[in-house]
């Protein structure tokens, strides 16, 4: 993939932010399945929901974010070069990171939950999703910033070309 390919609309689905969204959803679904398969969290439903509810909410929100990117694509724009979408996606990643971090830590600190290997593995996947949300937000923001810098450089080069042309005419 060349330097400018990531900015083409057709390349969004194979861009790092889009791939990270798919991986995040897969990890969250896997974490929920592992957690629910062999759950031994003190028999209290509150402790189950502390981990499962954030996973469900964040996984659904990630899917909604991905679908909103598709709508931006349908509007003939690339989400990665649309500042409004990027800012919303970065904030979404920050909120998801915090929600999953809090849910994973609260579940891990519950003695009834932390003594089962499958539950600990699902919590580890929750922490991995936290890292992926941080990476996704950073990559999405950096792609937009890099695009804006390249657009400014291209505009400067075009302006310099016009200046040379105008001075040649004089």
Encode pLDDT of 6-50 as tens digits.
Answer: 556 567 778 888 888 889 889 988 888 888 887 777 666 776 777
Give dist(CA 21, CA 136) in Å, integer.
Answer: 8
pLDDT for 66 equals 81
Q: Given a cut of 90, is residue 150 above it in pLDDT?
A: no
pLDDT for 44 equals 66
DSSP state of 15: S
Q: Which one, of 21, 22, 13, lies nearest residue 137 by Cα?
A: 21
The arithmetic mean of pLDDT across residues 107-122, rounded, is 79
In sequence order, the 6+-apart residues with CB closer than 8 A to the CB of 55 are 28, 29, 31, 32, 35, 100, 103, 126
Q: Given a cut of 70, is residue 141 above it in pLDDT?
A: yes
Q: String of b and e for 39-52 (b: at least 16 CB within 10 Å)? A: bebeeeeebbebbb
The model's pTM is 0.77
Q: What percent of the chain has pLDDT over 90?
A: 5
**Cβ(54)–Cβ(99) under 8 Å?**
yes
Q: Given a cut of 90, is residue 131 above it in pLDDT?
A: yes
């Amino acid at each position: 993939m060349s330097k400018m390919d990531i900015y083409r609309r057709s390349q969004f689905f194979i861009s790092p932010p889009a791939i990270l969204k798919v991986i995040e959803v897969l990890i969250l679904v896997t974490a929920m399945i592992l957690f629910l398969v062999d759950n031994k969290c003190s028999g209290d439903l509150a402790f189950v929901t502390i981990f499962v509810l954030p996973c469900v909410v964040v996984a659904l929100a990630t899917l909604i974010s991905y679908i909103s990117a598709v709508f931006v694509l349908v509007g003939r724009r690339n989400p990665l070069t649309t500042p409004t979408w990027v800012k919303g996606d970065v904030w979404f990643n920050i909120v998801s990171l915090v929600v999953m971090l809090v849910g994973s830590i609260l579940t891990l600190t519950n003695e009834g939950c932390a003594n089962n290997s499958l539950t600990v593995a699902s919590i580890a996947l929750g922490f991995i999703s936290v890292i992926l949300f941080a990476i996704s937000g950073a990559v999405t923001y950096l792609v937009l910033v890099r695009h804006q810098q390249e657009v400014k450089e291209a505009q400067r080069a075009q302006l310099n070309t016009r200046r040379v042309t105008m001075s040649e005419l004089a």
